């Protein structure tokens, strides 16, 4: 399969879908918002965006199955090829008109991420990558931070908002990062955070209680940009394991050691 061609077609589809999301910003009424679980919101914008993506992706690769956040299509996990879709990562930001929300599309082959497209809507920034092809932002090749002292590094994370089972361990990681680095930021859209590591805006990122659609697209992008990626134990179960840590190689050892020491046993 020519992943470069497929990636270009996905970029076009995601860019078109982003126009719909952008046009609906600020127009969603409170009565049009549903609560799926604690602090987990969804609106017609999420659902319509997912439908548009599924329709387009199905035409591109008819043999592929889908894993989609809003459940617009039945999951078919036995397929060799799988599209993994988050139609609006950062829904709470979108509904509060806070800038950082995105579309994320990943393609898996035999369970391995091989293609990813993440479109951050507010800044019209489209990140993409395919296995072996490098990573790009609006057509320009990107890479992770080449060199930075750990105490000058900037990290991203996502605060727990419904699963507080590892809250104290999480706070311990934050404490060490706050005391020994430049700082920590939380934007509220994991797909975008991964891309910010890929282009060197963040030097590393960690979060737990994530879903596969939060990370499948960004994982390819950060890997192709030269970043390292793992679960909190140092393994490869970051897609389904609900935990991820990524970083530029120059800070990986120190950063991963902190995350692993406090969260590796959860």
Between CA 133 and CA 16 the distance in angstroms is: 23
DSSP string, the chain: --HHHHHHHHHHHHHHHHHHHHHHTT---GGGEEEEETTEEEEHHHHHHHHHHHHHHHHH-TT-EEEETT-SS---TTSSEEEEEEEEETHHHHHTT-S--EEEEEEEETTEEEEEEEEETTTTEEEEEETTS-EEETTEEE---S---GGG-EEEE---SS--TTHHHHHHHHHHHHHHSSEEE--S-HHHHHHHHHTTSSSEEEEES--HHHHHHHHHHHHHTT-EEE-TTSSSTTTTSSEEEEE-HHHHHHHHHHHHHHHTT-
| Per-residue pLDDT at 199 | 98
Give the C-alpha separation, 45 to 28, whole Å. Answer: 8
How far, rounded to the nearest angstrom, does the alpha carbon of residue 236 sit from its chain's CA centroid? 16
Q: Which residues of the chain carry a pLDDT beneath 50?
A: 39
Task: Specify the CATH class of 3-142 in words.
Answer: alpha beta
Chain segment 91-100, per-residue pLDDT in tens: 999 999 999 9
Contact assessment for residue 263 and residue 243, using Cβ atoms and an 8 Å cutoff: yes
Q: Quote the pLDDT of residue 264.
A: 95
In this predicted structure, what is the pLDDT of residue 39?
45
Q: What angle do CA 67, 208, 173 make, to 5 degrees?
A: 160
Q: What pLDDT does residue 35 have?
A: 74
The domain spans of the chain are 3-142, 150-263
Question: For 166-201, what is each residue's pLDDT tens digit?
Answer: 999 999 999 999 999 999 999 999 999 999 999 999
Fold of 150-263: D-Maltodextrin-Binding Protein; domain 2 (3.40.190)
């Amino acid at each position: 399969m020519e992943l470069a061609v497929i990636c270009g077609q996905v970029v076009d589809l995601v860019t078109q879908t982003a126009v719909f999301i952008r046009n609906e910003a600020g127009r969603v009424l409170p009565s049009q918002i549903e609560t799926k679980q604690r602090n987990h919101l969804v609106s017609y914008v999420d659902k319509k965006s997912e439908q548009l993506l599924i329709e387009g992706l199905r035409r591109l690769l008819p043999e592929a199955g889908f894993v989609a956040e809003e459940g617009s299509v039945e999951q078919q996990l036995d397929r060799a090829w799988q599209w993994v879709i988050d139609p609006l990562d950062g829904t709470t930001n979108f509904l509060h008109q806070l800038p950082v929300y995105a579309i994320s599309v990943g393609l898996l082959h035999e369970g391995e991420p091989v293609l990813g497209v993440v479109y951050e809507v507010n800044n019209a920034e489209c990140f993409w990558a395919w296995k072996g092809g490098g990573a790009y932002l609006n057509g320009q090749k990107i890479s992770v931070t080449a060199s930075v002292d750990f105490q000058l590094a900037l990290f991203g994370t996502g605060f727990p908002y419904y699963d507080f089972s590892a809250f104290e361990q999480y706070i311990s990681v934050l404490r060490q990062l706050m005391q020994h680095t430049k700082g920590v930021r939380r934007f509220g859209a994991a797909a975008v955070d991964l891309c910010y590591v890929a282009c060197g805006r963040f030097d590393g990122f960690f979060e737990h209680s994530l879903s596969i659609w939060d990370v499948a697209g960004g994982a390819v992008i950060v890997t192709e940009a030269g970043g390292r990626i793992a679960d909190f134990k140092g393994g490869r179960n970051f897609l389904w394991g609900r935990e991820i840590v990524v970083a530029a190689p120059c800070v990986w050892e120190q950063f991963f050691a902190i995350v692993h020491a406090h969260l590796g046993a959860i």
